[in-house]
Chains A and B, each alone.
Chain A
Amino acid sequence: MKRVGYGLIIILGLALQTASPGIIFFGFRPELMLLLTLGLAMLEVPRVAGPFGFAAGLLQDLLVGKFIGLYAGTYLLMAIFVGFITKRLYKENLLVRFMALFMGTVVGQLLYLSGAASFGAPRPLSWTVWSAILGTGVINGFIGAFLYRPLVAMNKQLNYLDELLKRTG
């Protein structure tokens, strides 16, 4: 049940992220898949958030059609990394959530760009790229900080349904 729920979240999230004209805040588009991965990493163990990130990244990779596996690997690493870092943080604090998501988004994007560059993508870290990274980080931080509570509630509901299904067969 939980897996089906996560699968649906990924499909709807990707469809929303790639819809036209799409969600744009102050000229920057949020990285919704990375945001969901980081959000889940903050409230679940890496054993759950890691595969979620990997699946979300892989499906995004298949849409992009280039460097297939790079988003998957990046999101997997970020899920583990952010899960590890935020394990001992008080996540109910809005600022802590914002900072965790901001840093996670920035590091995740840097990791993706470095990976792409090492496989021949022509994108040096210019001012244009830095401003896009930081802008997306801020947008992701803001959205994620407020989206965290609904995500916790939804995850709780999924866990409950999963447990219920296991017990009733």
Chain B
Amino acid sequence: MLDRLLRWKIPLIIVLVLVLVGTIHYTSLPRPEISKLEGLWRDVLSPFQRFFSAIGGFFQRQVAEVNKWRGLKERNDELEERVLQLEAEVLGLRNYRRENEWLREALDFKEEGNHDLLVAEVVGRSPSNWESTIVVDKGQAHGVASGMAVVTNAGIVGTVINSSRFTSTVLLIIDAQSATGGLVQSSGDLVLVEGGQLDQSTLLAKPLSRDTTVEVGDVIVTSGLSRIYPKNLPIGEVVAVESRQYDLSFAAVVNPFVDFTRLEYVLIVMPQGEN
């Protein structure tokens, strides 16, 4: 019996290893589209993600509110108590107002930039620490395709890397695999803005020529050379300039304008006439 089992076990393990190596190799290469199984699984999981995101968002807002109230508490305990009561009562209405303000700003942004934009809600994030991606609730059914730029009114967010029917995955600019063409607004010098920083909240701008000058406080915008992001969209502000390679080169630490920990809605830049 054991011999019989072992006889089948070894070929099975070999087949499993070969299949795994094959799929890993196949999916390690860039794919224009994800498989139907992947799309279906993402669509199935997205309502659960949305549910947990809503709970997480609620707690995040509560924590933010508590932090905000802490300052008031120091000034006036009685007043804070009253504010707490009122805040609890109007929390629901406040959420609607915040959404409304955001959409209003998005509309302004749309009119200013003359872009065709699609509003999408963030419903999920990457499952591991090794990717910085988000999942939004718009997919192929809404005309979203890989390669489209994703922005907010504050600045650029990332690029759509793949889409299922009802969801899309966006590679954030803070991801180690992200590189964006940037422009120093004050000098017009070109830089390459890369992610993958330890804190996962800042970017690194590397000069593309020797003459590039960057100073603390400079604003980095998109260069428009990549054809993914429209030109002149804000990326971030330089907060430090570090010397590299025996002072022959440098890299600037850029603080992005977008707060990636609090992303709730984003705008997908659609080709003209798509949305």
Contact = CB atoms under 8 A, between A and B. Distances in A.
B263 A20 contact: yes
A69 B52 contact: no
A67 B28 contact: yes
Contacts of B51: 15, 19
A9 B263 CA distance: 27
B41 interface: yes
A120 B125 contact: no
B54 to A, nearest CB: 9
B72 to A, nearest CB: 24
Nearest to B162: A65
A28 B129 contact: yes
Contacts of A31: 128-129
Interface in A20-79: 20-24, 27-29, 31, 33, 59-60, 62-73
B27 A66 contact: yes
A127 interface: yes
Contacts of B216: none
A161 interface: no
Contact of A112 (B21, B130, B264): B130
A128 B23 contact: no
A122 interface: yes
Given A63-B42, A64-B126, A65-B169, A18 B23 contact: no
Contacts of B261: 21, 24
Interface residues of A, number: 46
B116 interface: no
Given A63-B41, A128-B196, A16 B131 contact: no
Interface residues of B, number: 52
A24 B59 CA distance: 13
B122 interface: yes
Interface in A99-153: 112-113, 115-116, 119-123, 127-128, 131-132, 136
Binding site of A, secondary structure by majority: helix, strand, loop or mixed?
A: helix
A155 interface: no
Interface in B36-78: 37-38, 41-42, 45, 48-49, 51-53, 55-57, 60
A154 interface: no
Interface of B: 17, 19-21, 23-28, 31, 34, 37-38, 41-42, 45, 48-49, 51-53, 55-57, 60, 122-131, 134-135, 161-162, 169, 176-177, 196-200, 261-264
Interface of A: 11-12, 14-24, 27-29, 31, 33, 59-60, 62-73, 112-113, 115-116, 119-123, 127-128, 131-132, 136
13 contacts: A15-B48, A15-B124, A19-B55, A19-B124, A21-B262, A22-B56, A27-B200, A62-B37, A64-B126, A68-B23, A112-B128, A113-B130, A128-B196
